[in-house]
Amino acid sequence: MIQDLQSAADLAPAYDLVVVGAGPAGLSAAIEASTHGLAVLLADENESPGGQIYRSVERASDADLTRMGPDYAAGRRLIERFRGADLSYARRATVWSVGPADEETGDGTHALAVGISFGGIARPIAAHRVILATGALERPFPFPGWTMPGVMAAGAAQILMKSSGLVPSGRTILAGTGPLLYLLASQLLRAGVSVTAVIDTTPVENWRLALPHLLGFSASSYALKGLKLLLEVHRRTHVIRGVTAIEAVGSEQFSALLVRRGNKSLHIEGDLLLLHQGIAPNLNLTLAAGCDYVWDERLAAFRPAVDGRGASSVPAVSIAGDAAGIVGAVASARQGELAGLSAALDLNRIGHGVYEQRRAQHAQKLARALRGRTFIEHRFRPGKTFRVPEDDGTIICRCEEITAGKLREVAALGVPGPNQMKAFTRCGMGPCQGRLCGLTAVELLAQFRGVPPGEVGYYRLRPPIKPVTLGELAALPHTEAAILAVAGFVERAHDGAQDATHGRNQ
Amino acid sequence: MDYDVIVIGGGLVGVSIAWGLSRCGQRVAILDEGDLANRAARANFGLVWSSSKGLGNAAYSRWSRTSAAKWHQLAAELKSETGIDTGFVQSGGFSIRLTPMELERGIASMAKLAGQPGMEAEGTPPLEYEILDQAETRRRLPLVGETVAGAIYSPLDGHANPLRLFAGFHKALKQRGVHYFPHRKTTAIRHRAGAFEVAGEGWRLGGGKVVLAAGIGNTGLAPMVGLSVPLSPSRGQIIVTERLRPFLSHATGYLRQTDEGCVLIGESKEATIDHQRPRGPITAVLAERALRTFPLLRDARAVRTWAAFRVVTPDGYPIYEQSERFPGAFAFACHSGVTLAANHALVLPRQISARALSEDLSVFHSRRFHVPAAA
């Protein structure tokens, strides 16, 4: 049985393994590692396990399950296994830093330190191993009007549906590309929502790039499901394909979508616009941990550099699931198992024989689960103009309201990369720490310079990757050396003060 | 010869000098490294602060005070050239002292500083400061915590937005036609027939003069032109909060609210340049002291912390020098790139153009570190 931790006081000072994220990858990693006797903490931000895909699946009614489809319902079995595992679970907990143990406060045996905020209290936790299963983020979808009220991310709509059973009441338009767009359309239609239109922005030329991979795809589990989904959506609403540009209009509130298809224009009225153009690995924690990353042209996104077992460039830190590259729920679970198994091997809880045997099983299942991905990636890769808006007035950074024009102005100064661009404009400095603008800003700069995004690089991320109150930070352990470094001397009640050893006179 | 002056280093020191040189009519090029170079210009705290500086070196106190006084002119000129407001405010700064012992030490150190010979000079604003007891501190800063022991206030001090200052210089340089070359790490500087050739991987550039403003990188570059820039390792760490409603218009020594609303909390000094990861214990102490200073910050959310390396010489004072073997080669190294930006932009460039550093700056030559070891 899992231990459902209630407060920071229930946290142990150290664990063999800390897993971050309770989606398919994190749950599977935690289960696998605990099976082999590791002391595991799984920390997750949400109320209940499941991640984005299986959000609230335990509480779902039969009607919910029918509406959301069989892939959603499948989460129940995984969560049941998780509930039966021998590990600690901290829900509504935020992991805001991961990195090598501090040179001063580290215990000398645990390689890593994890900063966690749980029930309003921040704690440092020592760990031998960390598996980051932080999932994916919806890719930014910047076009004129995308930040106005009445326009929202499809993922956010899905969260409302899954966690509160809330569905949109007005005329709803969906726009974008990717399988999840059609999945959401079908879920909304089944829930009785008035879906006026699905505006498909998938570039027409994607077919040509995807075609060579059609065979692999048609043999995958995605093919039949995808086809059924497409047919269902096409039958029940108006689908407009080959869209080349969109603009949301309205006075203070979204009222219509202007759609361009080549040289034809359409005006579609609606009350709510839901956007989706694929997902990208959620990198903030992995980058803040110092993990190397690469540009993945097929995903049109950065992903952490990992080996076949999910090991990152930072010793003892592994990454599994969509956080390491978009692979979907089933493959994520397999990657999680592999990472959990590797942790057990690294910590000598299993021998090489057991490891190899199980690894081979997992690897085989993983390969099967990955079938068809290449086709999907090529087929639904969002077009360049939807990734980097040509219109200079379009907002890129929502937190700081920085437009594409402002970024181009600064790019023209010759900024060496996105971090200098950020310093000059504040793009990416807000509470989201670049989650909503990072990809766009980097691609814009790369386009401006005529180099691949990989050459431009990404934001340097620092803890806390999610906001933490000063009150919480202040209550973290202090050391004498740290006081000396900040105050210049340490006051002691009995024998006066001890001074810092180096100059503070400038 | 491609340029009159090649400035190596695109950080705050480099761009302020380059801008000043351009104002002097010099043809200037700036060589810079990549996006993730050690760049104090993107990590600094943003004080324009002079009152407490120069204990043990009156010339440094004067140099800091003249620069702070020239900041108005710098801010105005940059604004009119670029439209960028550097957010400079010189409304006086508080050095807040949390305990009686901290206050006592602060008072003693200010008395010693003020009593040094050579503190006054024509054209330098006199050092003015006030000692505020607990009650007076609370009267002037009603939001300070109850345990704050007192403060030292000086009307000379203030703050600016260092990132907008940095961006402003870059924009002005672009408008002036100064050539900026990022991704060019200098690996060699050669002296040929009274001029310099600066080179890196696959490129070279000729200039009549060369200015080393590469921060920590100067240590390696200086010997190429007969100069010396010894530095001591120093790492600082800062916490920044989300935007808050304005509550503090004055700068304090370790906590200020930017004109955008964020609160910056710094700064620590650790004698290391091992890594740039923010350390938990330092974050904790910074936050704890910030809350003792302004308890209303308890629920303010920190969005980011960072650590960066300072450019600090062994005695903490800057280096300004011209090579005797290769005249026309200059090396500059200082920690307070924001405070000193006005001098670097408005005073130093004339001297570089004339190939002669003023007598006032001779005290900042690195020869002060070349003390022969005792036999």
Average pLDDT over residues B352-362: 96
- Chain segment B28-37, per-residue pLDDT in tens: 999 999 999 9
Report the alpha-carbon distance of residue A341 to residue A366 in Å, rounded. 14
- Cβ(A33)–Cβ(A355) below 8 Å: no
- pLDDT averaged over chain B? 96
Mean pLDDT to the nearest integer, A289-306? 97
Q: How far is B355 from chain A (nearest CA, A)?
A: 28
Task: Give chain B positions within 8 Å (CB) of A481.
Answer: 281
B139: which residues sit within 8 A by CB, 6+ positions away?
none
CA angle at B113 for the pair B107 and B116, rounded to the nearest 5°: 140
**Burial classification of residue A374, based on how many CB atoms lie within 10 Å of its CB (0-12 exposed, 13-18 middle, 19 or more buried):** middle
pLDDT at position B371: 72
So what's the pLDDT on residue A505?
40
| Contacts with B, A 85-104, CB within 8 Å | 97, 99-100, 102-104
Structure tokens at A41: 């903490």
**Any idea what DSSP says for residue B230?**
-
Grouping H, G, I as helix, E, B as strand and the rest as coil, residue A152 is: strand
Q: What is the mean pLDDT of chain A?
A: 94
pLDDT band at A219 (very low <50, low <70, confident <90, very high): confident
**Amino acid making up residue A99:** G
Q: Residue A497: pLDDT band by 50, 70, 90 thresholds? A: low
Q: Which pLDDT does position A422 carry in this prediction? A: 97
DSSP A383: P
- CB of A147 within 8 Å of a chain B CB? The answer is no
Contact assignment for B269 to A500 by CB distance below 8 Å:
yes
pLDDT at A201 over 90: yes
When pLDDT is averaged across residues A276-289 and rounded to a whole number, the result is: 96
**Residue B281 and residue A479: Cβ atoms within 8 Å?**
yes
| B287/A473 Cβ within 8 A | yes
Q: Is A253 on the interface with B (CB under 8 A)?
A: no
Spatial CB neighbours of A5, under 8 Å, sequence gap ≥ 6: A11, A88, A89, A90, A118
Question: Are the beta carbons of A20 and A43 closer than 8 angstroms?
Answer: yes
What does the pLDDT read at residue A223?
87
Quick one: pLDDT band at residue A68, thresholds 50, 70, 90? confident
| B-chain residues near A462 (CB < 8 A) | 278, 304-306
Closest CA to A202 of A329, A17, A377: A377
What are the structure tokens assigned to A130, written together? 């960390």
Q: How many CB atoms lie within 10 A of CB A159?
A: 16
Q: Strands B203-212, B3-8: parallel, antiparallel or unpaired by DSSP?
A: parallel
Is the CB of B42 less than 8 angstroms away from the CB of A420? yes
A256-273, pLDDT tens digit by residue?
Answer: 999 999 899 999 999 999
Contact between B315 and A503 using a beta-carbon 8 Å cutoff = yes
Nearest to B301 among A115, A469, A501 (CB): A469
Q: How confident is the model at residue A504 (pLDDT cuts 50, 70, 90)?
A: very low
Does the beta-carbon distance from A464 to B277 stay under 8 Å?
A: no
Q: A221 pLDDT band (50/70/90 cuts)?
A: confident
Beta bridge partners of A174: A198, A274
Distance (Å, whole) CA B334 – CA B44: 13
Residue percentage of chain B with pLDDT more than 90: 97
Tell me what the mean pLDDT of segment B102-127 comes to: 97
pLDDT band at B115 (very low <50, low <70, confident <90, very high): very high
Average pLDDT over residues A141-165: 92
Shortest Cα distance from B220 to chain A (angstroms)?
22
Question: Could you give the CA distance from residue B346 to residue B176 in angstroms, rounded to a whole number?
Answer: 16
Query: What integer is the mean pLDDT of B58-67?
Result: 98
Interchain CB distance below 8 Å, A424 and B167: yes
Predicted pLDDT at A502: 45
Report the percent of chain A where pLDDT is more than 90.
Answer: 85
Query: How close is the nearest chain B Cα to the Cα of A423, in Å?
Result: 6
* Residue A498 in this model has a pLDDT that exceeds 80: no
pLDDT at residue B372 in the model: 64
Q: Which of B268, B278, B304 sits opposite A433 (nearest CB)?
A: B304
Query: Quick one: average pLDDT of B114-143?
Result: 97
Cα distances (angstroms) measured from residue A475 to each of A468, A478, A481, B99: 12, 8, 16, 19
Query: How far is it, in rounded angstroms, from Cα B275 to Cα A57?
Result: 44
User: CA-CA distance, B173 to B10, in Å (whole number)?
Assistant: 11
Element (H, E) at A422: helix A418-425
From chain B residues 195-214, the ones with a CB under 8 A of any chain A CB are: none
Distance from CA of B105 to the nearest CA of A (A): 10
Task: Sort strands A272-277 and A151-153 into parallel, antiparallel or unpaired.
Answer: parallel
Distance CA B366, CA A483 (A): 32
Q: Which of A73-87, A205-219, B244-258 has the lowest mean pLDDT?
A: A205-219
Per-residue pLDDT band for A148 (boundaries 50, 70, 90) equals very high
Q: Which residues in chain A are contacts of B83 at CB distance < 8 A?
A: none
Phi–psi pair at B304, nearest 5 degrees:
-165, 150
Q: Determine the pLDDT at residue A506.
A: 41
Distance (Å) from the C-alpha of residue A390 to the closest C-alpha of chain B? 23
Helices (H), A206-328: 206-210, 214-218, 221-236, 284-288
**Residue from the list A124, A468, A502 with its beta carbon closest to the beta carbon of B301:** A468
Segment A419-448 shows an average pLDDT of 95
Q: Kindly report the nearest CA distance between residue A21 and chain B, in angstroms.
A: 20
Two tokens, residue A110: 């645990």
CB contact A63 to B (< 8 Å): no
Model pTM score? 0.95
User: In the predicted model, is pLDDT for residue B373 greater than 80?
Assistant: no
Taking an 8 Å cut-off on Cβ atoms, the answer to whether A486 and B289 are in contact is yes
- A425:B60 CB<8 A: no
**pLDDT score for A503:** 42
Residue of B nearest to A284 (CA): B304
Between the CA atoms of B290, B296, B301 and B302, what dihedral angle is there, to the nearest 10 degrees? Answer: -10
Q: Would the pLDDT of A64 be above 90?
A: no
Report A:151-180 residues touching B (Cβ under 8 A).
none
The answer to whether B230 touches B219, Cβ cutoff 8 Å, is: yes
Give the residue among B83, B258, B88 at the shortest CA–CA distance from B171.
B83
Dihedral of CA A338/A341/A347/A350: which sign?
negative
The whole-angstrom distance between B242's CA and the closest CA on chain A is 6
Interface of B with A in 337-356 (CB under 8 A): none
Percentage above 70 pLDDT, chain A: 97
Q: What is the pLDDT of residues A365-392, one digit of tens each?
A: 999 999 999 999 999 999 999 999 999 9
8 Å CB contact of B282 and A476: no
Q: Do A506 and B53 touch (CB under 8 A)?
A: yes
Which of A468, A480, A486 is the mutation pick for testing B, counting most B CBs within 10 A?
A486
The rounded distance, in Å, linking the Cα atoms of B310 and A443 is: 32
Confidence category of residue A63, pLDDT binned at 50, 70, 90: confident
pLDDT: which is higher, B159 or A226: B159
Distance from CA of A130 to the nearest CA of B (A): 18
CB A8 within 8 A of CB A299: no
Q: What is the pLDDT of residue A394?
A: 98
How many CB atoms are closer than 10 A to CB A166?
Answer: 12
Q: Between B371 and A179, name the one with better pLDDT.
A: A179
